[in-house]
Amino acid sequence: MAQPTPLMPHATASWLVDNTALSFEQIAEFCGLHILEVQAMADDLASSKYTGRDPVHSGELTHDEISKGQADPNYRLKMHRAPVDVSRTKGPRYTPVSKRQDKPDGIAWIIRNHPEISDAQIGKLIGTTRTTINAIRERSHWNIANIQAKDPVTLGLCSQRELDAAVAKAAKRAPSEDEEVEEVVAESRDDRASLIAELRAERDAAAKAAVEAAQEAEAEAWLEAKRAAEAAGEA
* 66 assigned to some structural domain: yes
Q: Given 138, 173, 208, which residue is the final one in a domain?
A: 173
On whether residue 16 sits in a domain, the answer given is: yes
Q: Are residues 102 and 169 in the same domain?
A: yes
Same domain, 109 and 45: no
Could you count the other beta carbons within 10 Å of the beta carbon of residue 121? 18
Does one domain contain both 162 and 106? yes
Tell me if 223 is assigned to some domain: no
Tell me how far apart the alpha carbons of residues 14 and 49 are, in angstroms, rounded to a whole number: 9
pLDDT tens, residue by residue, 178-202:
555 566 566 667 777 777 888 888 8
Closest to 14 in 3D by CA, of 41, 40, 39, 37: 41
Q: Do residues 39 and 53 lie in contact, with contact meaning Cβ atoms separated by under 8 Å?
A: no
Written as one string, the DSSP assignment of 108-149 is HHHHHH-TTS-HHHHIIIII--HHHHHHHHTT--TTGGG---
Tens digits of residue pLDDT in 132-155: 999 999 999 999 999 999 998 888
Q: What's the pLDDT at 219?
A: 76
Residue 181 lies in a domain: no
Same domain for 64 and 104: no
Name the residue range of residue 131's domain.
Answer: 97-173
Any idea of the CA torsion for 91, 92, 98, 101, to the nearest 10 degrees? -170
Residue 212 pLDDT exceeds 60? yes
Instruction: Tell me, yes or no, whether 113 lies in a domain.
Output: yes
Say if residue 113 is in the same domain as residue 165.
yes
Task: With respect to residue 4, please indicate whether it lies within any of the assigned structural domains.
Answer: no
Q: How many CB atoms lie within 10 A of CB 109?
A: 22
Number of domains, the chain: 2
At residue 75, φ and ψ (nearest 5 deg) are -75, 135
